Structure 1
Amino acid sequence: MKGNLEPPPYKAQAQYPQICCITLNETDKLRLIGTPPELIPLLRDAIKTSWGAIQRERNYNGSFEFKMLGNPWYGQGADSVKSRRLIVSVLKTMVQHGWELIQAADVSKKNTDKDSLFFEYIEQSTEMVDTGEIDMFAVSFNRYDRLRIIDGPARIIPTVREAIQQQWRSGIQEEQIYFSAMEFKLHGYPFFADGQEAVMSRMMLSQILANVKAQGYRLYTSVDISIGHEGADAETWVFRAVRPA
């Protein structure tokens, strides 16, 4: 099947930067728009490694589309962790081959919309210098009261715990391993907050950003990858390790 697929042509113009786009569609599709054909097998491997089986591949109106088995963009339970792992794997693959994320943007008014990811080809990043493998992990905000650290290094867990305890007065109700992710269940509803709690939740998130940055990571992107439950979704944060150039 794969041998019969014709990838869409990539038309790079020397006088302009090379820009491409990856979109998250419906509940199970990922489309490459203006992406060089040589990235297709690399992203295929990234999907299989982080998510699992691909149900179908095709040329979709000039884009190259992967339809995954299952529903990563409506993930529940273990799939909610795997879908974040999937988006990190896609971002890593792009960075490893010279494509830096410009912006994750919501450019659709559909009820089930998710972000589009825009990348620019940069031979050597001036913002971030990595040695060896690209080091990224995700933090997701789930339901109204849960925060999950997905594939973060061990030192990040006490760092995030400290930030929560410093700024969220209601405290932590429970900690557990949730399908290989570290989950903090907070007292109250920080992600559906009003009044003073709405302010406290932002202070908590600001403290998390500060504490994680002190550990050598910066927020690389915040991306909406889920249609959520009854429209109640929150973006996922992706952090990337950095060091001074």
Structure 2
Amino acid sequence: MMSKGPDQPPSYSTLIAPFLQASRVCCITLNEADKIRLIGTPPEITPAIRLAIRQGWGAIQREQNYAGAHEFKLMGNPWHGQSEEAVRSRKLITAVLKAMANYGWNLIQAADVSKKQSDKDSLFFELGPVQDPQADLFSISFNRSDRIRVIDAPHMVPYVQQAIQTQWKYGIQMQQMYGGAHEFKLSGNPFYSDWNEAVYARMLLSQILANLRSQGYKLYTSVDISIGTDGMDLESWVFRRVGPAWS
């Protein structure tokens, strides 16, 4: 058998989830403008993520083994989504998180662990004690300097609206459906604010969290999924209903 030279890369088999005693951890990364990599996930997760991608985003261009990770290359550019595609990319990440929760994998942390330009968060999961086939998740995105979009949760729109009306003194300029999401365009610029407005913006966000918590939903993660201008892109929030599998 020919031995590997010093310049040849090592061979990788499919990676298994790291574990210590009863704990199991895996990772999903968002790469370049159009890729998702499953690192250390169990084999039964792959078909569920494939279905989540198709439901949340659309077509998959190809799949391959990437240094032991299962990589999906998507059609289009979800991590550089503009206009209504930005809504679809949030639907995609929510669908992936829901698929993981269905199999009992709960998110530990979304973390920025790269210094690359235009990097995005990596998602770390831990296997919980029970699966959650009825996991209920939705997302809220903050866009430009003055917009809030409630995605796939029309029943939560009144609670977001109440938070804006009570905590943002400049009020709502307009509302519309945008790419299937309910969009609030606020008067003023809460996400590019100074002085007193910076305080009002944080009170607004706190009230959104409180209102949704009162309805049984808690913030599951705040995640950076966009290739934006450094320091200018905003994270998106994903909420999950509290229950026996996650609290």
> Normalising by the residue count of structure 1, what TM-score does the alignment of the two structures yield?
0.90
Give the corresponding residue for 2:227: 227
Report if aligned partners of 2:19, 2:25 keep a CA contact under 8 Å in 1: no
Query: 1:174-214 deviations in whole A, cap 9, x for unaligned?
Result: 10000110000011111111111111100100011001111
How far apart, CA to CA, are the structure 2 residues paired with 1:146 and 1:11?
A: 39
Give the corresponding residue for 1:70: 76
Q: Number of residue pairs matched?
A: 234
- Structure 1 stretches of 5 or more lacking a match? 1-5
Please point out which of 88, 95, 98 is paired with 1:92: 98
Report if aligned partners of 1:148, 1:183 keep a CA contact under 8 Å in 2: yes
Matched, 1:22 2:28: yes
How far apart, CA to CA, are the structure 1 residues paired with 2:193 and 2:174?
A: 19
Please point out which of 104, 107, 117 is paired with 1:101: 107
Q: In 2 relative to 1, CA 20–243 (structure 1 residues): closer, same or farther, beyond 3 Å?
A: closer
How far apart, CA to CA, are the structure 1 residues paired with 2:128 and 2:216?
A: 22
Report if aligned partners of 1:174, 1:184 keep a CA contact under 8 Å in 2: yes
How far apart, CA to CA, are the structure 2 residues paired with 1:157 and 1:150?
A: 9
How far apart, CA to CA, are the structure 1 residues paired with 2:207 and 2:17?
A: 44
Structure 2 counterparts to residues 134-173 of structure 1, below 5 A: 134-154=135-155, 156-173=156-173
Give the corresponding residue for 1:49: 55
Between 1:224-233 and 1:98-107, the stretch displaced more is 224-233
How far apart, CA to CA, are the structure 2 residues paired with 1:111 and 1:141?
A: 21
Say which SS state the counterpart of residue 90 (structure 1) adopts. Answer: helix
Q: In 2 relative to 1, CA 179–13 (structure 1 residues): closer, same or farther, beyond 3 Å?
A: closer
Q: Percent identity?
A: 59
Report if aligned partners of 1:172, 1:186 keep a CA contact under 8 Å in 2: yes
Give the Å deviation of 1:122.
1.3
Give the partner amino acid of 1:225. Answer: I
Give the partner amino acid of 1:69. Answer: M
How far apart, CA to CA, are the structure 2 residues paired with 1:89 and 1:23?
A: 15
Give the partner amino acid of 2:108. Answer: I
Give the corresponding residue for 2:9: none
Query: 1:93-152 deviations in whole A, cap 9, x for unaligned?
Result: 001101011011111111201100000111327xxxx6x621111000001110000001
Give the partner amino acid of 1:216. Answer: G
Report if aligned partners of 2:222, 2:238 keep a CA contact under 8 Å in 1: yes
Q: In 2 relative to 1, CA 118–210 (structure 1 residues): closer, same or farther, beyond 3 Å?
A: same
Report if aligned partners of 1:139, 1:148 keep a CA contact under 8 Å in 2: yes
How far apart, CA to CA, are the structure 1 residues paired with 2:115 and 2:122?
A: 12
Give the Å deviation of 1:7.
6.9
Give the corresponding residue for 1:59: 65
Q: In 2 relative to 1, CA 20–47 (structure 1 residues): closer, same or farther, beyond 3 Å?
A: same
